[in-house]
């Protein structure tokens, strides 16, 4: 079965510093990969997605992610963090086989931004 | 505006009562999903539906039931058989296949 691991439960970063959130997946075929962001008490918003092609994907709010097949990773990055980036971030993998099409989510990484 | 609505935002129920959470979408999406979110556990799939009048169990379907009688609606009933129903519930929809899912704002259910 496929799985998604986000090794960092919490990350604290200073405003203006760079941010990288890790995501590793276990899946037998080429994955469909997503990053979502969730503000407290809210739903999830899609930041970016990777289906195929260029392995460096640009998203909204200045985020980007890089798909590395050899490392089974899809890490999210932002060069300069703003206080409004404090939220929880979820990586997800989509599978196109099995009973229906669905996403498997990682456990999430909560980002705290220091002034 | 197109989107997904969930109501109510907060819901309180007594133990042993069934409760139904509403999810409506006007995105003309075929597929709809229900997730449960607990602190530190990410999202877990309860039920999903790829088309009207059809739905499948997700990873944690026990104690829950759904219906999909209309394309735009996918209500979730939390039954008294669900042993630990207090959680944040998220509904999502997509065009189908493996595509991005659009999420509603969620319903926080507290069972007293």
Residues belonging to chain B with any Cβ–Cβ distance to chain A shorter than 8 Å: 4, 31, 33, 35, 40-43, 45, 48, 50, 56, 58, 88, 90, 92, 96-106, 108
Top-confidence residue, A39 or A96: A39
State whether B50 and A101 contact (CB < 8 Å). Answer: yes
Q: How confident is the model at residue A100 (pLDDT cuts 50, 70, 90)?
A: low
Top-confidence residue, A40 or B65: B65
Under DSSP, is residue A60 helix (H, G, I), strand (E, B) or coil? helix
State whether A46 and B100 contact (CB < 8 Å). Answer: yes
Q: How confident is the model at residue A98 (pLDDT cuts 50, 70, 90)?
A: low
pLDDT, position B74: 98
Under DSSP, is residue A32 helix (H, G, I), strand (E, B) or coil? strand
What distance in Å separates the CA atoms of residue A20 and residue A37, rounded to the nearest whole number? 14
State whether B4 and A9 contact (CB < 8 Å). Answer: no
Measure A86 CA to nearest chain B CA, in Å: 16
Measure A76 CA to nearest chain B CA, in Å: 17
Q: What angle do CA B66, B67, B69 make, to 5 degrees?
A: 165
Measure B79 CA to nearest chain A CA, in Å: 23
pLDDT in tens, A42-87: 999 999 999 888 899 999 999 999 999 999 999 999 999 999 999 9
Measure A70 CA to nearest chain B CA, in Å: 22
pLDDT, position B1: 62
State whether B106 and A107 contact (CB < 8 Å). Answer: no
pLDDT, position A97: 59
Chain B residues with CB-CB distance to A99 below 8 A: 56
Backbone angles phi, psi at B33, to 5 degrees: -140, 150
pLDDT, position A99: 52
Residues of chain B scoring pLDDT < 70: 1
Contact call for residues B28 and B40 (beta carbons, < 8 A): no
Which residues 93-112 of A have a C-beta within 8 angstroms of B? 94-96, 99-103, 105-108
Chain B residues with CB-CB distance to A42 below 8 A: 105-106
Q: Is the model's pLDDT at A28 over the cut of 80?
A: no
State whether B48 and A106 contact (CB < 8 Å). Answer: no
Region at A61 (left for phi over 0; alpha for psi -120 to 50; beta for the rest): left
């Amino acid at each position: 079965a496929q799985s998604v691991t986000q090794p960092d439960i919490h990350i604290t970063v200073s405003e203006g510093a760079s941010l990288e959130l890790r995501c590793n997946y276990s899946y037998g075929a080429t994955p469909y990969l997503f990053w979502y962001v969730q503000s407290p008490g809210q739903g999830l918003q899609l930041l970016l997605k990777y289906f195929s092609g260029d392995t460096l994907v640009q998203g909204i709010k200045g985020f980007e992610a890089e798909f590395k097949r050899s490392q089974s990773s899809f890490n999210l990055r932002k060069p300069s963090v703003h206080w409004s980036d404090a939220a929880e971030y979820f990586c997800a993998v989509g599978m196109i086989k099995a009973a229906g099409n669905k996403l498997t989510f990682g456990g999430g990484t909560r980002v705290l931004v220091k002034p | 505006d197109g989107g997904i609505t969930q109501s109510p935002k907060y819901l309180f129920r007594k133990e042993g009562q069934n409760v139904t959470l509403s999810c409506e979408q006007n995105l003309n999406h075929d597929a709809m999903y229900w997730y449960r979110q607990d602190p530190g556990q990410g999202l877990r799939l309860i039920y999903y539906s790829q088309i009207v009048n059809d739905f499948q169990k997700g990873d944690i379907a026990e104690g829950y039931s759904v219906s999909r009688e209309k394309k735009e609606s996918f209500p979730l009933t939390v039954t008294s058989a669900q042993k630990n129903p207090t959680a944040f519930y998220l509904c999502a929809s997509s065009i189908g296949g493996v595509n991005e899912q659009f999420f509603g704002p969620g319903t926080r259910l507290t069972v007293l």
